[in-house]
A = this chain, B = another copy of it.
Amino acid sequence: MMLFLSGTMPTFAAQIYVTLRPSVLDPAGTAVESGLKQLGYNGVTGVRIGKYIQLHLAADDAAAARQQLDRLCDQLLANPTIENYRFEIAEVAPQ
């Protein structure tokens, strides 16, 4: 027999990658690239700097977690006009 405790939603660990769209200039990346060249790393090109966001999320199941992540990325974590995002989720084993 299996017991399901009602009221305890599973928790998902999410890793979210927010990157500038390829057509958008990345001044911070350009600055880092020229800094690297000044340090002697001449083989480095195409530096792009994005955000890497980690969070935990309670949701009924993986599909609900993905849906919620899509919404919160669109609303707060990414700027859809100039940024793309993708994410990975993994269920966290209950304590």
User: Which residue numbers of A lie inside 8 Å of B, CB to CB?
Assistant: 9, 17-19, 29, 32-33, 35-36, 39, 41, 43-59, 68, 72, 75-77
Contacts and interface: CB of A to CB of B under 8 A. Distances in A.
A44 B18 contact: no
B18 A52 contact: yes
A44 B72 contact: yes
Contacts of A52: 17-19, 49-52
**Ranked 6 nearest A-B pairs via Cβ:** A43-B58, A52-B52, A50-B52, A47-B55, A46-B56, A48-B54
Contacts of A68: 41, 43
Nearest to A33: B55
Given A50-B53, A53-B49, A59 B43 contact: yes
